[in-house]
Amino acid sequence: LNPNRRLPIASATKLMTALLTLEHEKRLSKIFTQNNYVAASVDSQIGLVPGERMSVRDLMLAMMLPSADDAAEDLAYNVGGGSVGHFVGEMDVRARQLGLTHTHYTTPIGLDTPRNYSSPCDLVKLARYLLQHHPFFRNLVALPGATLRTGRFVRHVVNRNSLIGRVPWINGVKTGHTTEAGYVLVGSGTRGGMTLISA
């Protein structure tokens, strides 16, 4: 497989949504209000309703572990100053700054949309940057599950990366699946002082 081949990446898109959120919002306890987005029944979601309030921390957990599309939309809308389109534009700017030359975004979620793509090489670069620069992210993606205490009610979420908790040295990063992308896994593991990242 060509490591620079441009491919649909499903919810691995949420790696950039996570990076922009962490770079723009330093207070994880800050409360965001869900916009009018209603996830389709086939989407991965935690059932956020318009107007529901949840902390950035819990939204990040929901987006990264069970890959909740409604949480990703909530983060994009609020970090984007009330515009998901503006947020997606910032995703592309950040990709260029990081040298992700085979990446382009048209969604903060990763649904099958034209021109939302990346390459295995770019996904590894982005994951490495997140793991190196954001301890909260590094700890989050290594969790087998979590409890979300903000929102209308307490929710328990499980990491879709079933290797976490089952293989002791696997510690990330993000799964994805759509019809066009198939199954996607950006993985990381640490043994003997060395971390390897795969896509």
Which residue numbers are catalytic? 11, 14, 67
Cβ proximity of 107 and 18 under 8 Å: no
**Quick one: which of 36, 47, 50 has its CA closest to 83?**
36
| β-bridge partners, 125 | none
Q: Which bin fits 167, alpha (ψ -120 to 50), beta or left (φ > 0)?
A: beta
Q: What is the CA radius of gyration of the chain?
A: 16
CA angle 177, 79, 29 (to 5 degrees): 95
DSSP classification of residue 12: G
Q: What whole-number distance in Å separates Cα of residue 51 and Cα of residue 39?
A: 14
Bridge-based pairing state of the strands 31-33 and 145-148: unpaired
Q: What whole-number distance in Å separates Cα of residue 155 and Cα of residue 57?
A: 13
Residues 6+ apart with CB under 8 A from 16: 91, 94, 95, 103, 105, 108, 126
